[in-house]
Structure 1
Amino acid sequence: MSAISITAILQAKPGKEQLLYQELVKAVTPSRSEEGCIKYVLHQSIENKAVFVFYEIWKDEESINFHIETDHYKQFRRNIEGLIESRQVYRLQEVDS
């Protein structure tokens, strides 16, 4: 089975951009240290500072399932709950060309 990529797009509620940024940054290091994590990168939109994008690559579905059950991820989700206007998550797999 090939690696699974995830693109998660989060938009901060008006006035919550800095608070959301601080919470998102906290998620990076513990997520990167997980065994099945190949890549975990946080981006911020140049055009709209309220939009943040995580680009993640995980070894397999089992690694993703482990990630979402970690204490740090559960705490992260609780911490951002009141800060986000919208959240879109796409699970992607590479297409052979």
Structure 2
Amino acid sequence: MAIVSKIAFFAARRGQEERLGESLLALVAPSRGEAGSLRYEIFQDASDDGLWIAVEDWRSNEAYDSHMETEYVRAFLSMVPSLCDGDPDIRTYRKRSTTDSRPAPNRED
């Protein structure tokens, strides 16, 4: 299985930081429910509230392509021009290390 790893970078328009974050977080549950989804997480930059990333792993390119054609992703992408300063930067990565299977430390998020 050739896992497809994607990282999408988003820069919010001034004043749209919270709305962009809410819109990205709304994608998590349905994306994780897709058969081809292995990982789907949203991160916000710790020092710049306007910078967000989506970290995704998919079973195949076909699974990712199918995800991008879902109604909820298409609806989100139609809002991107009003939410973001420019287009998202979506990059594909190849995993080079083994998976870190250590238990997560107890911490406050």
Q: TM-score, normalised by structure 2?
A: 0.83
Deviation digits for residues 38-75 of structure 1 (CA, Å, limit 9, x no counterpart): 00000000011100010000000010111011111111
Residue 30, structure 1, aligned to residue 33, structure 2: no
Percent of aligned positions with the same letter in both sequences? 25
Query: What SS does structure 2 have at the residue aligned with 1:56?
Result: strand
Report if aligned partners of 1:31, 1:40 keep a CA contact under 8 Å in 2.
yes
RMSD over aligned Cα, in angstroms?
A: 1.5
Deviation digits for residues 6-58 of structure 1 (CA, Å, limit 9, x no counterpart): 00010101111011111111111111100000000000000111000100000
Q: How many residues align?
A: 97
Residue matched to 2:94: 93
Moved over 2 A (4+): none
Bigger RCO (CA 8 Å, 6+ sep)? 1
Structure index of larger Rg: 2
CA distance in 2, matches of 1:85, 1:79: 12
Query: What SS does structure 1 have at the residue aligned with 2:26?
Result: helix
CA distance in 2, matches of 1:20, 1:63: 24
Which blocks of at least 5 consecutive residues in structure 1 are unaligned? none
Q: TM-score, normalised by structure 1?
A: 0.92
